[in-house]
A and B are shown apart, each in its own frame.
Chain A
Amino acid sequence: MEINKIYQSKHELWLKILYSSFSIKNEKIKSQIYDFADIEFRHMKWLSNNMQEQNIAYNCDKFAIDMPKSSTFEVLEYIISEIKLCIKEYDPEDPLFARILSDEFYFITAIELLLKDKSNDGEITAYNRERKYEEKELDDLSRDALTLFLFEESYKEYELILLYGYFQNYTTNILQYNIYQDMIDESQFHLKSFGEMMAKMGVLAIPRTVIPALYQNKDIKQFLTDGIDEEINAKEECAALAEAIDDEEISAFLTFIMYQENYHIELMQKAINNLEVK
């Protein structure tokens, strides 16, 4: 199979495992599955580097993903079957896939072990649309505002992870590369935080596809400049939501995210300055 098609399958597999981790309630299993998703993301990075070296274009396309919604065991079995499907696409002669396979064989074994212990099973409520946040009493307005915020921001973080990965692949400048890596790491953390909040509210959803117009033939400086405006808007929204939502824990978290946006703006400005010097 062509490597850019395998990249798309790996992109989908990363999302399937990542969103599985958000949906699982058992903290130990959640953490283990999240780590597997993290490794899958690195596989994507290796593949994209490989394609860049061979001058093969790649994109951020993905097919619609229908996640399992009933139990932890159904989710774990789903992950195993999706990894096995992806493995069928690899070129066994390619050393890159040998590394990937070694990781994925371990994932399968580790998940099979989890499936042997019935006490690991549990209910999945991440998609039930109840929009209750644990035991918190949010009024309707706060609940709607938080729901919208989570949809907007989780998509944005997902988009940034893919776009900064894309730009990282096409730069030879170490400072630029490192800034993009910082931004990816920050967005991974934000996506995890927002994804888990969405799961608690029963509104977990795989983000929509990032359309090619956003990254192909992109003026990176303009993208970063627009990005600073978006970060400023996100900061304002975080501040207003933190103020409006009558819950100490959620407000404190939103305020924390708001301060992180300041750091993102600094990083993006640094990247712009560096592009101008070049």
Chain B
Amino acid sequence: MKKTTKENQEELEKAGRVAEISSEVLDHMMNPKNYGVMKDHDGVGMGADKKTGEFAMVYIKLNGEVLEDITFGCNACQDTVVAGSLFTEMVKGDTLDNAVQALRLMEEQLSFVSKKQQACSGMVLQAFRASIINKENRVNGMKEDMFTIDLKESCEGVNLNGNQ
């Protein structure tokens, strides 16, 4: 017997899948923007999920107040890839202040999606936040290769502070 849409939806959600791919999302999946390591960076940060071992890294290069270049890399799922591609495209070439505003805005938007998507997409935002801290630490004379922020919620839906 053919399954109903609702039954399909439930099974796919059980498999942890996002059930809607727009053409814009597909474009970021097929061709992620600003992906890769930046060698000559001013700051690098990592957002890490200790439970799954997944992580995102963000590299930033500043020219005065302007975020001249930003790239990301990850060992994570497509939600992270799409979020990294979207976010870096959005903030590249803008001021750092505006980029931080965009980060907050995107975090607000993420409160409307599933816990899994929140954690996976949020990984990139935490990595960006960490890259700014790394840049500031370096400016203040610290010899720090990278700053890492551990996620509070794993993308497996586990609270990493000890609660389920």
Contacts and interface: CB of A to CB of B under 8 A. Distances in A.
Interface of A: 61, 127, 129, 131, 139-142, 144-145, 147-149, 151-152, 203, 205, 208-209, 211-214, 226, 229, 236-237, 240-241, 243-244, 246
Contacts of B19: 140-141, 144-145
A139 B8 contact: yes
Interface stretch (B9-17, B87-95, B96-104, B108-116): B9-17
B158 interface: no
Contacts of A148: 17-18, 21, 78
Contacts of A236: 15
A211 B73 contact: yes
A-side binding surface: helix, strand, loop or mixed?
helix
B12 A205 contact: no
24 contacts: A129-B23, A139-B8, A141-B9, A144-B17, A144-B18, A145-B17, A148-B17, A151-B29, A152-B78, A208-B81, A209-B73, A211-B73, A211-B75, A213-B57, A213-B73, A213-B75, A237-B15, A240-B11, A240-B14, A241-B12, A241-B17, A243-B11, A244-B3, A244-B8
Interface in B3-58: 3, 5, 8-9, 11-12, 14-21, 23, 26, 29-32, 35-37, 52-53, 55, 57
B31 A205 contact: yes
Contacts of B29: 147, 151, 203, 205
Nearest 5 A/B pairs, CB to CB: A240-B15, A211-B73, A244-B11, A205-B30, A226-B53
Contacts, number: 87
Given A147-B21, A149-B17, A211 B81 contact: no
Given A141-B19, A205-B29, A205-B30, A211 B8 contact: no
A208 to B, nearest CB: 5
Nearest to B18: A148
A141 B12 contact: yes
Contacts of B32: 208
Contacts of B15: 145, 236-237, 240-241, 244
Given A148-B17, A152-B78, A229-B52, A211 B3 contact: no
Contacts of B77: 152
Given A205-B30, A226-B53, A240-B15, A144 B21 contact: yes
Interface string B67-92: 00000011101100100000000000
Contacts of A241: 12, 15, 17
A236 B17 CA distance: 12
B143 interface: no
A61 B53 CA distance: 22
Contacts of B23: 129
